[in-house]
């Protein structure tokens, strides 16, 4: 956690903020060298459900933005991904949280798609769907350099989730070990 972590609560206190969350490695356990292709492979990380319930009381909008090139590789279909996301959102809602919308990019990394993070296509789509979004009053939470670059490219405040504790080379505004730790910090 950065030394300024406690200041994040001060920054977002007016209730007019938007939260963008990466999925794999932030919300659910990342499958190394694989993709979550069916609901039974989706496993929430500890304290994520409680944290999203906290976020739901603080943030005006909450979105998930996720690269899902497993679709582009033919390992799963968009219908498979929809089933996974439906189950994920159901569980989040059961625990008192909400996700306003999930945005995903099925394109391969080699495609140079404007919708694939770190490009900001998914953020622009969210802003088109929810015109009151102000990127300068938005947070991007992710566990990769691409996630942080996505947030920076859109002009957001960035929060790096460093669950492996190995990556110290990041350019985020704030860092926490887990989404649960971040949720506890702003829920105080």
Which residue in 22, 80, 143, 173 is the catalytic one?
Answer: 22
SS3 15: coil
Cis peptide, bond prior to residue 144, ω within 30 of zero: no
Contact 186, 12 (CB under 8 A): yes
Q: How far is CA 36 from CA 47, 152, 161, 163, in A?
A: 20, 27, 19, 19
Question: Would residue 24 show up in a list of annotated catalytic residues for this protein?
Answer: yes
Which residue in 16, 24, 80, 164 is the catalytic one?
Answer: 24
Query: Any bridge partners for residue 159, and if so which?
Result: 141, 174
Find the angle CA(89)-CA(92)-CA(94) to the nearest 5 degrees.
110
Which residues, 6 or more positions from 34, have their beta carbon under 8 angstroms from its beta carbon? Answer: none
Among all residues, which ones are annotated catalytic?
22, 24
């Amino acid at each position: 956690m950065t030394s300024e972590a406690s200041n994040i609560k001060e920054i977002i206190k007016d209730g007019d903020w938007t939260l963008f969350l990466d999925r794999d490695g932030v919300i659910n356990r990342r499958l190394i060298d694989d993709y979550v292709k069916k609901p039974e492979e989706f496993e929430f990380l500890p304290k994520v459900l409680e944290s999203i319930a906290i976020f739901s009381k603080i943030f005006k909008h909450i979105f998930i933005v996720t690269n899902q090139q497993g679709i582009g590789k033919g390992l799963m279909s968009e219908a498979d991904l929809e089933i996974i996301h439906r189950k994920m959102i159901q569980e989040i809602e059961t625990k008192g949280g909400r996700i306003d919308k999930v945005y995903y990019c099925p394109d391969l990394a080699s495609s140079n798609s404007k919708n694939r993070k770190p490009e900001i296509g998914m953020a622009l789509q969210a802003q088109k769907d929810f015109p009151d979004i102000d990127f300068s009053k938005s947070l991007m939470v992710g566990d990769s350099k691409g996630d942080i670059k996505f947030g920076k490219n859109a002009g957001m405040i960035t929060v790096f989730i460093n669950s492996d504790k190995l990556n110290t080379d990041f350019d985020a505004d704030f860092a926490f070990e887990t989404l649960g730790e971040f949720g506890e910090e702003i829920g105080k």
